[in-house]
Structure 1
């Protein structure tokens, strides 16, 4: 079959590779000048900044792409395991060095609160049970309500009706440790107090398989996958925007896509790695969307957005690890400001990425490469980013300078930022959401937009907005689901 894949984020690239390797002819289309989607690379003054996803778990999902293509991964990309996975820093000066050394974790937990050692051990066992049941569901489609009914008893047993924070808090008492073991949903656009406790399996996933980094940055992984796709015969069209998915009025099937500069491209099937809401609202006429009407799409809850400042320094901050989680004074109230009240708070909790801790080649000699990520409300709030972006940037730099990176403002030599307007207009994400549909219990699995459209039978979805959800493991799993739907013998 001739297949068009719209959008070249990780989900789109992985789907294109799997389908091309299965014998189809795949054309991968993206509106930007290079592949990657949220994993776009910014190159400024000798610094290379990964645009978005930087935390790699479940490395086998990457390895599988090379296996199905019959190519050795080491010819395309080099993955290295990190230690620590993260430093989690608190404003009282305490630091939790998070890795998969069980004895070391217990030692640190004991130092934070001796009474939580036994509770953590129970939490770990519970997260392992969630992992054992939940991981196989990541590559299982939920196209029918019967699929959900079959797993419902397991979901009840695993307390999926609880939030991640609620699940953790029943075992852990120290407020800092509660944050250590419940912050993970924020990395995939979820509110820890709303995201289903199924996401507690992330802890076990990291403990079992580690946190990885692609040497050369996430962009080097994207480039390796691009080369792989080309090597097995795939076709890439960049600087090309899809303006419509063309539907046959009689069969209600997609026949191809219209583009801004390549005209009509015919296809036997279309896969969208574009934002699900954007795809339905902007690329498919409403008359073909009985299930996914404008009203239904707009009624869903969408994840928060992000403000990300990329900056290079002419000195190194060697006391900072590759991944730093910087927790602010507030936790639940700060999260509620962003997700519920959609208010831009004065305080921060931040993710600081310093890839030069692992790969100095990403910056000039003696320099450091950073980005700092701040969760912020999506555009459903009242923040005017045209006027607020610069003051918000200044507040973040001042905070980092006072708390963690001495004299930072004197040493920044290049910078760039993105905000919710970037997600809305450059990445075509509804409401400028950074992770598409929020991962709550009733927006997960069967209740999430399906991998195969209910309205158009040969239209498929991969990426953050469909099952299983955001994050590199999630979007790569969605590509595996869709490839198996189109080519049942794939993988």
Structure 2
């Protein structure tokens, strides 16, 4: 059994029953190749398997998860477990659905626990705001900063709920394949003030500048600038309040392993350590039709359909031949505004910082000016705002006994900044360490026993993300819904996209919902009219 599923291939309360094999699609069932084993690709694989397809998932890493991969580092005292990417779950039903459509229950395999506060937000002057799902507690917090903003908070919540009901519940799983699909929702978008930015909307309801930061930072969690991201993303505030903020015991990697094991039980196959070099296509009069993928080693895997969970911009610029693209040409891809990137430092300490919350946001002295440097000026600044994750606050098994496991994330410009990360990595890490030591982790430099850094350079090299962008395409109004790369490719028949760069966008709810969109675009296997690929099917 592969090591990445060893701990989750069995139920928590019983051994895996190996006496009966999972029900597999027949050998003549249509075959789908999924490029990328990130959450979007894994969710797509489960949904396609449940509907009767043969599925092969190909990933260039040696484990599933994509950006949500796991790294284990030996330090003084034992092993630290680091989730390399997403750390919190805000729409748990989207995970539960994956097990349900396979006739199983997620809670039999992966345990999720709520975290509170959702975030502890620390301002540069040391003032703290405890962000929770409790309205009374939130109003008490707000009143400490500005009593007049309590009424504004109540109005903002109602607005966020209205945006949530339309933007997430109604439109989050709907494909936008035609402009008429977009035209139909324009009245709702006008009513919800989608022309405003998140910060612009928040500023309507809050006068205190610090509270404006507290209620506008959420777009950064999905790669957007609060000052340019459409206010549709203000729905995140209500989404968190509605379902809470959850943590998977064992880390996000436990959820990855659980879904990967589910895919294998359903008959799906994985090809790890394999890089897709081309999505092959055959032109026959109309649009070219996907026929499979060609790997870096030259092998061709034939398929009736291809689902790309690779970075959307990379997919079109590097995996689909120019002659097969009339919409997402190199010129259009190059003009697309990409998200910022991230600097992430993973570290373990030989002491426990008991007073540090599971999720902490440390806001620096600058807000808009810093975001301007990151998104518009593409300049690596000397200051930063940080997200500090301490999973061992909830799950002691993420660190050796008596130790703590952390990762700290700093939004930084993507590679268009020209920053030479081979030279800047240690210098920047040291700046982050010094800031943490001076604020929430006293004596940090004397207690670090494990250390690992991830920079925009690795986002490009490890994940094949164009320009090292951490969240693919920015969530601006003119790059949302119909204006994003479509879930059903505009250029190649039989090619579908899931993940952060397509509709509805980045973040775990977004990428899981992108796979859900496929249910309305791809028929059940029994209803699929097989198109003969240019080469025999292979898995």
Using the alignment, how far apart are the partners of 2:449 and 2:150 within structure 1? Answer: 45
1:189 aligns with 2:223: yes
Q: 1:91 aligns with which of 124, 127, 151?
A: 124
Equivalent position of 1:32 in the other structure:
61
- Residues 112-154 of structure 1: CA deviation (Å, up to 9, x unaligned): 1111111111111111111111112110110100100100000
Pick one of 523, 527, 530 that aligns with 1:487: 523
One of 200, 218, 241 as aligned partner of 2:234:
200
Please say if 1:222 is aligned against 2:256: yes
Q: Which runs of 5+ in 2 are unaligned?
A: 1-29, 527-539
SS at match of 2:449: strand
Aligned to 2:246: 212
Kept in 2, the 8 Å contact 1:448–1:466? The answer is: yes
Matches of 2:396 and 2:294, distance apart in 1 = 43
Q: Is the 8 A contact 2:52 2:525 kept in 1?
A: no
Residues 449-484 of structure 1 show CA distances to partners (whole Å, capped at 9, x for unaligned) of: 100111112100000000000000000000010233
Q: Which residue in the other structure is 2:529 paired with?
A: none
CA distance in 2, matches of 1:447, 1:358: 40
Alignment of 1:367-406 (within 5 A): 367-406=403-442
Q: Deviations over 1:56-110 (max 9, x none)?
A: 1111100000011111212221111111111011112211111111110011111
Shift of 1:243: 1.2
Contact 1:76 1:228 in 2 (8 A): no
SS at match of 1:77: coil
Counterpart for residue 84 of structure 2: 51
Equivalence for 2:395: 359
Pick which of 136-145 and 246-255 moved more: 246-255
Q: In the alignment, which of 143, 150, 153 is matched to residue 117 of structure 1?
A: 150
Alpha-carbon displacement from aligned partner over 1:25-62 (angstroms, at most 9, x marks no partner): 00011000000000010100100000011121111100
**CA contact 2:68–2:86 (8 Å) conserved in 1:** yes
1:8 to 19, 37, 42: 37
Cross-structure match for 2:105 = 72
Q: Distance in 1 between matches of 2:465 and 2:318?
A: 11
Question: d(CA) in 2 for partners of 1:101 and 1:281?
Answer: 46
Q: Is 1:166 matched up with 2:200?
A: yes
Q: CA–CA distance in 2 between the matches of 1:407 and 1:67? A: 47
Alignment of 1:134-153 (within 5 A): 134-135=167-168, 136-153=170-187
TM-score normalised by L of structure 2: 0.90
- The CA deviation at 1:249 is 2.6
Give the ranges of 4+ consecutive aligned residues of structure 1 lying more than 4 Å apart after TM superposition: none
Name the counterpart of 1:329.
Answer: 365
TM-score, scaled relative to structure 1? 0.98
Aligned residue for 1:139, secondary structure, equals coil
Contact 1:76 1:227 in 2 (8 A): no
C-alpha deviation, 1:487, in angstroms: 2.8
